[in-house]
């Protein structure tokens, strides 16, 4: 365990169902091992079940706070896992979309993987940004004004994106690095 993130609090999302387990647990474990405290945020509190490969049931985890009850000021970084169903549920939830939009405006690290960038598109924060995602989101991101690239992990002024579970090692390393770095005052947020 290191002390890179001592004193920092990281919010990690879980959808009511369909979040990809490894995309939740591996970033959670990486920031915890680096010394951060973690709070799990979702649409509703209580136990939720994650999935493996979108279809197979995985573990059950506790959502501690709803988006409506959370404040962007409470967190030094925020992680949005993928999972096709989970990401689709989140992008259709007004509180989740508003939270992601407002968190992006804080200039603090926002870390999103796989299908999670659907929420970024819905939050209207990808215009002019370079990012990656699961390949099937390329057109959605480009249509929203983003510059989609096919790379394991992309960092654009504290916006950390990654393609899929195969890229989790690179993603987790960047998540820790960017949260340690803190706010990115150069990130253009005037138009969000």
Q: Residue 81 is inside which H or E element, if any?
A: none
pLDDT at 113: 98
pTM of the model: 0.95
- Cα 50 to the chain's mean position, in Å? 15
Total number of domains in the chain: 1
Does the pLDDT value for residue 32 go beyond 60? Answer: yes
Tens of pLDDT, residue by residue over 135-173, are 999 999 999 999 999 999 999 999 999 999 999 999 999
Catalytic residue among 114, 135, 172, 184: 114
Per the structure, the complete domain to which residue 52 belongs is given by: 9-112+164-181
Q: Burial code of 1-40, b = ≥16 C-beta within 10 A, e = fewer?
A: eeeebeebebbbbbbbebbbbbbbbbbbebbeebbbebeb
CA distance 9 to 28: 11
Is 13 contained in some domain?
Answer: yes
Domain containing residue 71: CATH number: 3.40.50.880
Q: What is the mean pLDDT of residues 117-131?
A: 97
The C-alpha angle 147, 167, 175, rounded to 5 degrees, equals: 75
Is 49 contained in some domain?
Answer: yes
Catalytic residue among 115, 135, 172, 184: 115
How would residue 192 be classed by pLDDT, with cut points 50, 70 and 90?
low
With 0-12 / 13-18 / 19 or more C-beta atoms within 10 angstroms meaning exposed / middle / buried, residue 170 is: middle
Sign of CA dihedral 186, 96, 134, 29: positive
Catalytic residue status for 115: yes
Is 104 contained in some domain?
Answer: yes
Q: Which two tokens stand for residue 132?
A: 């990656």
């Amino acid at each position: 365990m290191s002390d890179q993130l001592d004193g920092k609090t990281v919010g990690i999302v879980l959808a009511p169902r369909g979040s990809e387990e490894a995309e939740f647990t591996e970033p959670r474990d990486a920031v915890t091992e680096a010394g951060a405290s973690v709070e799990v945020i979702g649409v509703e509190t209580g136990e939720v079940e994650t999935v493996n490969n979108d279809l197979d049931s995985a573990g059950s985890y506790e959502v501690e706070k709803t988006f409506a009850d959370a404040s962007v000021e409470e967190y030094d970084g925020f992680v949005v896992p993928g999972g096709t169903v989970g990401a689709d549920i989140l992008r259709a939830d007004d509180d989740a979309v508003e939270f992601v939009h407002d968190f992006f405006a804080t200039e603090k690290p926002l870390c999103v993987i796989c299908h999670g960038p659907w929420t970024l598109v819905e939050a209207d924060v990808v215009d002019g940004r370079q990012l990656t995602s699961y390949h099937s989101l390329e057109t959605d991101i480009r249509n929203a004004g983003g510059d989609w690239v096919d790379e394991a992990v992309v960092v654009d002024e504290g916006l950390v994106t990654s393609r899929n579970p195969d890229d989790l090692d690179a993603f987790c390393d960047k998540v820790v690095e960017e949260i340690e770095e803190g706010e990115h005052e150069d990130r253009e947020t005037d138009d969000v």
